[in-house]
């Protein structure tokens, strides 16, 4: 059972609003790099890990260009380890770290969670280990941000193909239907989100980078074509996922769609529980 759900900014990045939604303003937006800390009766579950101050020093060779090209920042008190400490937890309290996909702003904080059990898709892991280092780096994938070898306890996620009904599209993670993995193809190979059912309140869909704007999904406005080409892996799958998100929101009006980089709503704090 989920007692509380917290959303935190693990740093932030700057993008033009016009890129994130095709009808947006020509103005820079500061977008949070959100991750979630989920207090479950079986222990703490962390969804993604945000940026991390050490990212600037952990990338070597050509990979260092990422720090010059991507306008990111992450103060030490926003790192996932610091956020856990702020809530009175330690890395040892984390029972599972679910990774939506392998981009740097979602895995850099793993440095604070050594040897914790991981959950991810094989497609995400295989993509991270395929192709050349330079090509992977151009798209924000860096093998050095992951453990040298995955823990023996790694769980390979395999959610069903997403359908018109959200309840039929999830893979139960903890055996009580409180946390379900859902496939969100398009942005990165093997990307998943989490569907959360707190003990009180509406369901929450942690949508990772399936969209950068909750309001854009509701309005039916996609990202700009240039943004899709730059940061999304598959245009057709991206648009299909956006349409599916809108359908799920329409079918379940109380559903809280929570995306990693959306500027709408609070970037930090308690989003479920009391």
Q: How much is the average pLDDT of 70-86?
A: 97
Domain with residue 28: its CATH number is 3.60.15.10
The pTM for the full model equals 0.96
Tokens 């306890």 found at: 153
**HSE of 61, CA atoms in CB hemisphere, 13 A:** 7
* CA–CA separation, 273 and 269 (whole Å): 11
On the question of pLDDT at 85 being above 90, the answer is yes
Comparing 149 with 30, the larger pLDDT belongs to 30
Provide Rg for the chain, Cα atoms: 17
Burial class (CB in 10 A: 0-12, 13-18, 19+), 168: exposed
In percent, the amount of the chain with pLDDT more than 90 equals: 85
On the question of pLDDT at 252 being above 80, the answer is yes
pLDDT band at 136 (very low <50, low <70, confident <90, very high): confident
Nearest to 21 by CA among 264, 271, 253, 265: 264
DSSP string, 30-58: EEEEEEEEEEETTEEEEE-----TTHHHH
Tokens of 57: 């020093």
Q: How much is the average pLDDT of 188-211?
A: 96
Residue 1 neighbours by CB distance under 10 Å: 13
Domain that holds residue 72: 2-272
Element (H, E) at 241: helix 235-251
Helix (H, G, I), strand (E, B) or coil at 103: strand
| Domains in the chain, number | 1
Over residues 164-176, the pLDDT tens digits come to 899 899 999 999 9
**C-alpha distances in angstroms, 200 versus 35, 257, 272, 273?**
21, 17, 8, 7
């Amino acid at each position: 059972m989920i007692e509380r759900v917290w959303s935190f900014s693990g740093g932030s990045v700057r993008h033009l609003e016009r890129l994130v939604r095709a009808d947006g303003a020509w103005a820079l937006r500061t977008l949070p790099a959100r991750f979630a800390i989920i207090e479950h009766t079986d222990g703490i579950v962390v969804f993604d890990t945000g940026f991390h101050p050490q990212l600037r020093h952990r990338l070597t060779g050509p990979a260092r260009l990422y720090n010059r090209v991507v306008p990111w920042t992450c103060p030490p008190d926003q790192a996932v380890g610091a956020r856990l400490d702020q809530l009175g937890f330690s890395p040892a309290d984390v029972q599972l770290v679910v990774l939506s996909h392998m981009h740097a702003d979602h895995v850099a904080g793993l440095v604070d969670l050594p040897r914790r059990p991981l959950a991810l898709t094989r497609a995400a892991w295989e993509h991270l280990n395929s192709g050349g280092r330079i090509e992977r780096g151009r798209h924000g994938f860096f093998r050095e941000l992951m453990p040298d070898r995955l823990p023996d306890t790694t769980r390979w996620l395999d959610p069903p193909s997403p359908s018109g009904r959200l309840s039929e599209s999830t893979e139960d993670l903890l055996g009580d239907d409180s946390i379900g993995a859902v496939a969100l193809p398009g942005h990165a190979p093997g990307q998943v989100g989490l569907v959360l059912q707190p003990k009180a309140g509406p369901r929450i869909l942690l949508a990772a980078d399936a969209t950068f704007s909750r309001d854009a999904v509701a309005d039916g406005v996609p990202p700009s074509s240039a943004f899709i080409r730059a940061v999304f892996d598959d245009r057709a799958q991206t648009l299909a996922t956006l349409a599916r998100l809108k359908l799920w929101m329409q079918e379940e009006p109380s559903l809280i769609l929570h995306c990693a980089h959306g500027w709408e709503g609070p970037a930090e704090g308690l989003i479920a529980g009391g």
